[in-house]
A and B are shown apart, each in its own frame.
Chain A
Amino acid sequence: MTKDSLIRTLRDGFGPALTVSEGATPKRLVLDIDRTAFRAAALKLRAAGGRYMVGVGSDERDRRGAFGMIHLFAFDKDGFTVALRTSAPAETPEFDSIAPEIPAAGWTEREYMDLLGFTFKGNPKPKKLILADDWPAGIHPLRKEVPYNLVPPSAEDVAYELDEAPEGTTTVPIGPFHPSLHEPAHFAVYVDGETIKGCDYRGFMTHRGIEKLCQTQVSYNEVPFVAERICGICGSVHAAAYSQSVEEAAGIKIARRAEFIRTIMLEIERLHSHLLWLGVAGHLIGYDTIFMQSWRVREPIMWLSERLTGNRKTYGMIVIGGVRRDITPALREDILGVLKKVETEVGGLKDAVLKDTSIHRRTKGVGFIPREEAEAWSLLGPVARGRGVDIDVRRDHPYAAYDELSFDVPVMDSGDVWGTLVVRLLEIFESIKIVRQALDKMPSDGPLLTEVADVLPAYRHGLSMVEAPRGESVHYLITGPENRPERWRVRAPTYTNLQGVPRMLLDNQLADFPIIVGSIDPCFSCTDRVLVVDGRARSRRVFARSEIEALGRGRRKP
């Protein structure tokens, strides 16, 4: 549905309750709507083909005495996004839940129940999502009056109440310390024999309070480095997405050469990320040789990054207004050389993996979801593309230099882990293609960094989406008065994909759990970026080795 016809439909439906305005660019549509029609409008947007991205809640009591709530929808075919905004009075932050119809919105709503103290009437699972088990009720850390470094007293004897297990099943506790999860999260898997009959997720254990920190402590220019550390793998993605959102909000136009360099960094990141995933996937099905070989092939890319940026990961390349380091002709040759080598090696790896019947056996038909359900859960990236959902931000909502580059978006309709595996493998070659094109088409000189004003205008909205290796990363930014974001909302792809995992697990075997969870390439730290402060983790005491050992044993006293 095109933008105009969408506006017409909505105007017909809601009349004066709805205010339509243009966003920062023509690709952003902003709809302000009365709270009572919020749910109906959201459902209408979904029905019109909008893909639910994420919700943004904000505490705006300081400046207008109300809480704000935004649902973001993407219209991928037509290349525009819709921000559906409403507000609620400070005393009664209540909204109608859209989660029953749009399951992908479930976590967003629960997140704001925790962090801002919102109420979403009709949410099917109004349980704690983000806050620690022992976080006191009634304190909502993202509210402005709560200090960023609040450390409430911790309690040992508190625990999350897991979902009721289906009749006759056993709960297999997977995580937070479990070899198939490389970061902490807890899955309570309900099994009947070896068949998974359900699953409850309790995550958000790597709470770092990044959003709150950046809203209260650092200024715009420091945030990219913090954003980069949201995720260990797709750091550039978050740095780029954050920078773009600031640039969009403040109306900064950056140099073309910098855009190309950003593109190259993003694609190099995808290259190493997909190879990393392939290795991890191999390990998760017990095939460590794939793990080792895939990482061996990946290693030159890491070295290349080191030469390009000064580090293997957390490149520190992207800042607001451009990039920090240039790609010199020597580095250009370096990149091309590495790409050539990697392309050959990945070619061999691809044949070895795709033709191996024993790998087929462990991936085909595993974690199957039909296309319609994948869309309902708003699955993203290779997880969606492996299930026949043809979306890719790079093509649908071009950013950086992607509008000038041509590439294919591989889509598989097998709907299972195998599909995601093939998609990722093929994307490696697309990435190589993109980097080569970018090096060719890049302006040969020009500034890297655009001067940015010391103080950016306040209360502007910026939205940016970046196709991370795992799918679309969304950053939503409201600029603030103190030269730092007033509200910065990060949604990593895993946040959305993870919500679909219990559905993927259903009726599969317990032995497939690692590879199904692994197939979304989960990044729990990305997902958990938002949690404010964990009392225990933030304790500043330095433990001596003997103390830690004693603590370890002490915990295990029966």
Chain B
Amino acid sequence: MWLTSKIKQVLLVLKPGKVTLNYPAESRPVPEGFRGQPAWDHTKCIGCGGCANHCPARTILTRDLCPEIRILFYDGARCMYCGRCADVCPEKAIVMSPEFELATGDRDDITQSLELFMLTCQRCGRCYDLEIKNAIDKLDLRGYRYDSLEARTVIRRSTERFAPDVLGETEAYRRPERIGG
């Protein structure tokens, strides 16, 4: 019956009372283990670039200004807070902070940049040597570097077989009419 079900519904919904919070005046505390914005501890970071290597969003970029200075650049605009960087960091220099109120009009508010002074190996003259290859070479391979600090762009690779002039060939392609045009 329509009326009885309505009355029941009203009783049902009045029971829990008001559940929304007067956000942002009051907010729920985040639980333990929450994955918020990653934070770098520059005292712990050894500049291995493992985080950059494993970042699925490729939002951690590195650049070596000279053999001794490496810049580690985290652009929060693309971060997906998976915590992979914190997982792989051998020195536990990255922690997932409880910070989640990150909306901002300025991109720099959520960017972190570490200028790391790298010590070279006195024996081989490099910063790191892994079994197979130098980690920096590995980064080069993957293209997780940025060339220009201002543009923050990733170096892009093209496959050998796809030349930009392939695009030119498609210019003759007649595009369909705009709907309603």
Contact = CB atoms under 8 A, between A and B. Distances in A.
Contact of A146 (B83, B157, B159): B159
Contacts of A160: 176, 179
B18 to A, nearest CB: 10
Contact of B156 (A146, A147, A228): A147
Given A138-B170, A153-B167, A147 B158 contact: yes
Contacts of B56: 218, 222-223, 225-226
B96 interface: yes
A356 B162 contact: no
Contact of B162 (A134, A137, A147, A314): A147
A540 B156 CA distance: 13
A352 B173 contact: no
A440 to B, nearest CB: 24
Interface string B153-181: 10011110110001101110101111101
A137 B173 contact: yes
B82 A314 contact: yes
A310 B13 contact: no
A325 B167 contact: no
B125 interface: no
B22 interface: no
A159 B175 CA distance: 8
A91 interface: no
Main secondary structure of the interface of A (DSSP, over half): loop
Nearest to B160: A145
Interface string A440-461: 0000000000000000000000
Contacts of A19: none
A542 B30 CA distance: 31
Given A138-B170, A296-B19, A310 B178 contact: no
A167 B92 CA distance: 67
Contacts of A547: none
A447 B82 CA distance: 22
Interface in A346-363: 348-349, 351-352, 355-358
Contacts of B13: 289, 293
A358 B16 CA distance: 24
A311 B34 contact: yes
Interface string A131-146: 0011011110000111
Contact of B58 (A217, A223, A309): A217
Contacts of A540: 151, 153
A119 interface: no
B59 to A, nearest CB: 12
Contacts of A218: 56, 58
B162 A145 contact: yes
A223 B16 CA distance: 41
A307 interface: yes
Contact of B167 (A136, A324, A355): A136
A88 to B, nearest CB: 19
A352 B5 contact: yes
B8 A542 contact: no
Interface in B79-115: 80-84, 87, 96, 105, 107
18 contacts: A137-B173, A138-B169, A147-B159, A158-B175, A158-B176, A218-B58, A225-B80, A293-B12, A296-B19, A303-B31, A307-B31, A311-B34, A325-B33, A352-B5, A356-B2, A356-B5, A357-B1, A357-B5
Given A144-B161, A157-B181, A223-B56, 9 more contacts: A133-B176, A136-B173, A137-B170, A145-B159, A161-B179, A218-B56, A306-B31, A316-B82, A352-B12
Interface of B: 1-2, 5-6, 8-9, 12-13, 16, 19, 28, 30-35, 54-56, 58, 80-84, 87, 96, 105, 107, 142, 151, 153, 156-159, 161-162, 166-167, 169-171, 173, 175-179, 181
Interface of A: 133-134, 136-139, 144-147, 149-150, 152-153, 155, 157-162, 217-218, 221-223, 225-226, 228-229, 289, 293, 296, 299, 303, 306-307, 309-311, 314, 316, 324-325, 348-349, 351-352, 355-358, 540, 542, 545
